[in-house]
Chain A
């Protein structure tokens, strides 16, 4: 009886699913979904190779410093880095005094309370502060940016598919003109006033104006590569990998030690297992190194080769 009830339930579910399937297929055939401009013109990020890639990746500190410089001089005007503290910059190779100077000279001051009047005030940043947000609040940020909200960049390379490659592609992917083909096929997809066409952005049009516009926009210290737009985009992407995952090098180093330890434990555990099961398993005895016949064979081979012991 139970089987009949359950069989009936199964038949009902399967039937409703098949009805759904046929209605789905017939809708698909009678009115196939129209292609959208996003589907056709959205591009996958370009390839970007960074020192931090791969299982043993590490940070190129010179590049991180350049990336930080780009962030400081370009991105920081609109984007916060609220999860990173000035003191964290020591990991980039700055010394304590340099970090102090960077905090002290930071363009945005840290909100505080005037100790005498109790009124809202600002003060200069100190190393223990996190990077102050360029805007007092979301409303101010939107008001200054045509109602768009510049996102915080701390986790950007972990919060998007393809992380750093996406950031790099976005920064270098702006196009002055939409492709003629796009406008021809999707006249409604014309970039609206105040937005910028960028095929690496999910919906193709982005409120952020191209931030890196000309080579040499940031002046790198001597001994660094020329600050082309491409180079600056790469450097700031590398910097944002660090802000999102500051413990990456530590993780890789620990991981190597852990894996080596566990492999060693696996091998010892396996040998212990073979040893314990030796008397109980024909197959273990046949291939095991502890098998008397195998040991005799090994001894014969040694004698033949003239090895002592």
Chain B
């Protein structure tokens, strides 16, 4: 699709030719994830997480469909139907724990995928739409995960729904009617549970559709790479299959091993004990906390404690939404022509500062809102906004990047990992590297 030297599809059998002439689906697959998609040869393991995210989306959809055969979306029966799955459905405990931990792992791989993009400048031209579609997927994931967490109708489910839909009531005038409209009542109840279930079943398929757009948009310029320089000729690329299918294959097996350790040996490690208590509208849990993947945003929400012109709650809600929405503008905030963080010494420092900042926000968001944690999250949240909206544009204007390699295949000469270069044109064993 993307490069002149991309191999066209050649049917291997009469049957495939028959299909291909009538419906060129084999051609499409071959060009998308087969031998017909040339990929830069120097991708490192951070590039595996896109495929892993697709894998976890599949795991979630498959286990979710089976769970939905047993799940009962009624305020009286939902909690017990989940326990029925855990106790009496054949391998129901495995399905449920895979789905429950699968959500967390879907976020883990997606976060790694996003932060890989942030470091290597994957959001820059000509891949802006790839980045923005990715953010749409992320927003859909958050909505899906939130609604899924409500379904077991435990204490955290119920109170989480109460708090999150409560965000809308922060907006003056229209807020409260919107909240009531979303919930189908004044508090989460049967109406809310049923519609959350319906949407929780729908949204993953919407995600799958946006994933297709994400990959389509990616395949126009082709994949980025750790040096950030454009592909120049055939020497710079390898066909996706078998080279990257093999690399993704073993990485997927390795990552699934880690996943299995959680599913089978620590299935409740990432959950909250309160969600094993049936929902009770009359008893508020001591600390309402969302799942770990929302902690940084929860910390931003709680960081606003002063009614400065606007009420503190409205500030918090605006900032929380803004914290994601600003990422849509990233391609225009960072105007440095150099994509890869490896060649941007100043950017690189701020990048790691941002990672530390988000980890601190997450840590504060998961803790009880004591004055110390709130104070730390206030500074960390201020840095978060300053990083994207002030520091990054300034850095990209004033930074002097390191010299870029001429091409991917010659990048070895500039101290890249040996893997970057094709074997044929690199000095082999015994030759001293000219890496500097």
A residues neighboring B (CB under 8 Å): 2-3, 6-7, 9-11, 13-14, 16-21, 23-25, 27-28, 33, 55, 83, 88, 151, 154-155, 158-161, 163, 202, 244, 246-247, 250-252, 254-256, 258-259, 262-263, 265-266, 269-270, 272-273, 276-277, 279-286, 293
Contacts and interface: CB of A to CB of B under 8 A. Distances in A.
B260 A262 contact: yes
Contacts of A161: 273
Contacts of A10: 326, 385-386, 388-390
11 contacts: A3-B393, A13-B382, A19-B306, A20-B378, A24-B305, A247-B86, A251-B264, A258-B264, A277-B247, A280-B41, A285-B423
Contact of B246 (A16, A159, A272): A272
Contact of A276 (B97, B246, B260): B246
A21 B263 contact: no
B62 interface: no
A9 B277 CA distance: 42
Nearest to B254: A266
Contacts of B83: 83, 154-155
B245 to A, nearest CB: 9
A170 to B, nearest CB: 14
B265 A252 contact: yes
A158 B371 CA distance: 30
Interface residues of B, number: 70
Interface in B83-106: 83, 86-87, 93-94, 97
A158 B276 contact: yes
B315 A158 contact: no
Interface of B: 41, 80, 83, 86-87, 93-94, 97, 238, 242-243, 246-247, 249-250, 252-254, 256-257, 260-261, 263-265, 267-268, 273-274, 276-277, 286, 303-306, 308, 312, 315, 319, 322, 326, 329, 332-333, 335, 370-371, 374-375, 378-379, 381-383, 385-386, 388-390, 393, 417-419, 421-423, 426, 428-429
B267 A17 contact: no
A11 B390 contact: yes
A21 B253 contact: no
Given A6-B333, A11-B389, A262-B253, A280 B276 contact: no
B136 to A, nearest CB: 19
Contacts of B304: 16-17, 20
B86 A13 contact: no
B191 to A, nearest CB: 24
Contacts of B308: 16, 19-20
Contact of A160 (B273, B315, B378, B421): B273
A293 B246 CA distance: 24
Contact of A17 (B243, B252, B268, B382): B382
Nearest to B386: A14
A25 B378 CA distance: 11
